[in-house]
Amino acid sequence: MENKCKEILEIEHVTNRYRDSGAGFFSKDKMTRVLNDVSLTIHRDEIFGLVGESGCGKSTLGKAVLGMIPFDGEIRVAGMKYSRNNRKEFTRSVQAVFQDPLSALNPRRTIAQTMEEPLLAHGMGTKESRRQKVIEMLKLVGLDESYADRLPRELSGGQRQRVCIGAALMIDPELVIADEATSALDVSVGAQILNLFQEIHDRKDFAMLFISHNLNVVYYLCDRIAVMYRGSIVEQGDAESLYNNPLHPYTRMLLSAIPEIEKADELSRYAFTETRRESVPDGCDFYHRCPYATDACRTWPELKNVLSPGEKGEHFVRCHNPVRDGKAPEAPDEG
């Protein structure tokens, strides 16, 4: 694209609903809201982490970006909105790596055939140049030429995920979405794949939306992080700032759920998992689980910038009663 827009991914006020599977035939209008007014921007060449518990809507957002599901709001990749007419151009800009490499690979096709596919789909290269590119990509993901003519079942889980990463990069996309790309792998293999993402990102020009339920993993890899809870972004900021100075009670809960991290005792003192009170329909989504909720939390909090004007970087939180100066707010007395 000639006029390169600055931001590779622009998500504006995206809301998505799924039809309730529990609803009966006659209540077919019953919908569950999964994404709630999500807006975020990913800069060129950065790695942006999206983290939150399972079921909060991370994959749904990824699918919306890939043009796989309908949604309200607007998403632009490299300045382009997905439509049936520009599907080809659009998929040149954004590619994805998913959790399960085995189901992503056709068991009857060789690694080379699978990796060549995006080039063929876009009518790129000659037979020789495609083969060359496959070998180049295999090397990039740490596999030698001999893997080209093997079948997926001859590879380990980690090797298969390397192939999927190589395949995603075959047409030099500007944005890669990695959705729980290390979550199905053994811890040590997952760590190798994380390092691989880091290495490749250092050597090639692309931005990444890295989706994971694990804040530790996201912190390791990402420049900026957004924390999602029930389909809303509740905190967003530079990785260092968010990880070392989490402001939303939910982010602190995610951190205290990571056993190996040594945070102040204060972090783990609260029994976050217990439902403390009723939900409030128009209030903060975290109200019923939050140890610090006050009456103010019965209204919906906006995502607010917490940095003072001169401060570098970014840090936003959607909370009426956030943590300040590293200290949790006073929990209100409940008689």
Ligand X SMILES: Nc1ncnc2c1ncn2[C@@H]1O[C@H](COP(=O)(O)OP(=O)(O)O)[C@@H](O)[C@H]1O
In whole angstroms, the minimum distance from the beta carbon of 33 to ligand X comes to: 9
Q: Is 16 in the site for Mg ion (CB under 5 A)?
A: no
Of the pair 48, 270, the CB lying nearest ligand X is at: 48
Out of Mg ion, ligand X, none, which partner does residue 146 contact, by CB within 5 to 8 A per kind? Answer: none
In whole angstroms, the minimum distance from the beta carbon of 58 to Mg ion comes to: 5
Question: Exposure pattern of 92-127 as b/e (b: 16+ CB <10 Å)?
Answer: bbbbbbbbbbeebbeeeebbbebbbbbbeeeebbee
* Residue among 224, 168, 225 nearest 200 (CA): 168
Alpha carbon distances (Å) from 181 to 6, 129, 271, 335: 27, 28, 30, 46
Out of Mg ion, ligand X, none, which partner does residue 34 contact, by CB within 5 to 8 A per kind? Answer: ligand X
Strands 207-212 and 72-77: unpaired
Ranges within 19-58 binding Mg ion (CB under 5 A):
58
Per DSSP, 26 falls in state: G
Out of Mg ion, ligand X, none, which partner does residue 18 contact, by CB within 5 to 8 A per kind? Answer: ligand X
Angle at 7 between CA 3 and CA 9, to 5 degrees: 115
Beta-bridged to residue 212, according to DSSP, are: 51
The contact pattern for Mg ion, residues 272-311, with x = CB under 5 A and - = no contact, is ----------------------------------------
Give the SS3 label for residue 52.
coil
In whole angstroms, the minimum distance from the beta carbon of 122 to ligand X comes to: 28
Of the pair 54, 188, the CB lying nearest Mg ion is at: 54
In whole angstroms, the minimum distance from the beta carbon of 98 to ligand X comes to: 11
Ranges within 187-226 binding ligand X (CB under 6 A):
none
Per DSSP, 330 falls in state: P
The contact pattern for ligand X, residues 56-85, with x = CB under 6 A and - = no contact, is xxxxx-------------------------
Q: Is 59 in the site for Mg ion (CB under 5 A)?
A: yes
H/E element holding 114?
Answer: helix 111-121
Alpha carbon distances (Å) from 216 to 62, 118, 281: 20, 32, 31
Q: Which phi and psi angles does 317 have, rounded to 5°?
A: -140, 145
Q: Any idea which residue has 């607007």 for tokens?
A: 74
Of the pair 18, 269, the CB lying nearest ligand X is at: 18
In whole angstroms, the minimum distance from the beta carbon of 56 to Mg ion comes to: 9
Among 22, 26, 54, 309, binds ligand X (CB under 6 A): 54
In whole angstroms, the minimum distance from the beta carbon of 232 to ligand X comes to: 12
In whole angstroms, the minimum distance from the beta carbon of 55 to ligand X comes to: 4
Q: Which residues bind ligand X (CB under 6 A)?
A: 18, 21, 34, 52, 54-60
Q: Which residues bind Mg ion (CB under 5 A)?
A: 58-59
